[in-house]
Amino acid sequence: MIVASTRGELAVALAGGTGGCLPGRQQKVAAPVILVPTMGALHDGHRALLRRARELAGSGGTVVVSIFVNPLQFGPSEDLDKYPRTLEADLAACEAEGVDLVFAPSVREMYPQEQVVTVDPGPAGEILEGEFRPGFFHGVLTVVLKLFSLVRPDTAVFGQKDAQQLVLVRRMSADFGLGIEIEAVPTVRAADGLALASRNKYLSPEERSVALVLHRALATGAAAVSGGPGAVLIAAQAVLDDAARSLPAGASPRVDYLALADGRSYEPIRNDDFDFHGTAVLAIAARVGTTRLIDNVIVNFFHLDDPEPSDVRDEGQNEKGSSNLGTEPHAADD
């Protein structure tokens, strides 16, 4: 496995030369090139992304992983300085999963001068996560576009856990004609249902127990799919309300949003929109203690006689009129 820390080293590795500093390759990397963008602090959810990338690349292709904590996507009061950085462990995980090339640049290497030009995520990037983290998706899409430009992958792999990010990256790739396939991997969960995330390390044992309410709310909401969008949201909210009544004062999750969004555009779905057919995302963001967590599940609104879209199963979804609560795999923000 090659580790590159500069653009020059990355270019040399992708071209197959050694450049006097990178041992190993003597030929240009083989297609397909599969990129997994991460911020490091890799956990089993990330490893699921790496395994999927290896499957897509096959024995002859190339898996590239980027490890970079991107300051552009952190607000002034967020956790940039304390975000977990575990490069040695991350490299060991990449090696174990058959990664061919890791790009782990410094901030100066990625942003040698002030980043004046950034990517505007459009209206879908200003709601939900974009509302509560202003500028977040500008930073995410800017660094992703820069990584796409540097690596030039055939496919990039992202986690379904960051559902809004996934929608926006797909839209950016399509709008700019990048010709890069965006592959989604389902969310990996612990045995108790908690979605794996790098920020879970911040949770105390008591807070981790409280955090399980988030997935219970999503699962309960998704199970009410036959009643339409309003029933889904009401059922999920009821679980959160019960938790607020039963937990000690101040211990229950402080919810930023609980929302149902179109799985393709991420436009919010109205409670009374009984005409909505297709794939939706039931998403939540909340603080448990000082830790902000996000999670989502896929909910399918289809009549039994509706044709199933060809890409539904590609995103880990199951039968019509149902929800995907699978315990499988996530990437970039945590």
Percent of the chain scoring above 90 in pLDDT: 84
Q: Assign domain 2-185 one CATH number from 3.40.50.620, 1.10.1740.10, 3.90.1150.10, 3.40.50.300.
A: 3.40.50.620
**If you average pLDDT over residues 67-86, what whole number do you get?**
94
Check pLDDT > 80 for residue 52. yes
Arithmetic mean of pLDDT over the chain:
90
Where do the H-state alpha helices sit in the chain? 7-15, 44-57, 87-96, 107-110, 129-132, 136-151, 163-175, 205-223, 229-246
Percentages of the chain per state (helix, strand, coil), in multiples of 5: 35, 20, 45
Check pLDDT > 50 for residue 310. no
- Per the annotation, the verdict on 303 as an active-site residue is no
Query: Of 46, 138, 215, 330, which residue is the catalytic one?
Result: 46
Strand partners for 262: 280
The pLDDT tens digits of the residues spanning 248-302 come to: 988 999 999 999 999 999 999 999 999 999 999 999 999 999 999 999 999 999 8
Check pLDDT > 90 for residue 237. yes
Residues of the chain within CATH 3.30.1300.10 domain(s) are 198-324
What is residue 318's predicted lDDT score, i.e. its pLDDT?
A: 35
Superfamily of domain 198-324: Pantoate-beta-alanine ligase, C-terminal domain (3.30.1300.10)
What is residue 261's predicted lDDT score, i.e. its pLDDT?
A: 98
Give the DSSP letter string of 32-88: PEEEEEE-S---HHHHHHHHHHHHHHTTTSEEEEEE---GGG--TTSSTTTS---HH
The pLDDT tens digits of the residues spanning 145-194 come to: 999 999 999 999 999 999 999 999 999 999 999 999 999 999 999 999 99
Residues of the chain within CATH 3.40.50.620 domain(s) are 2-185
Its pTM stands at: 0.89
- Any residues with CB less than 8 A from the CB of 286 and at least 6 apart, and which? 214, 253, 254, 255, 256, 292, 293
The pLDDT tens digits of the residues spanning 94-109 come to: 999 999 999 999 999 9
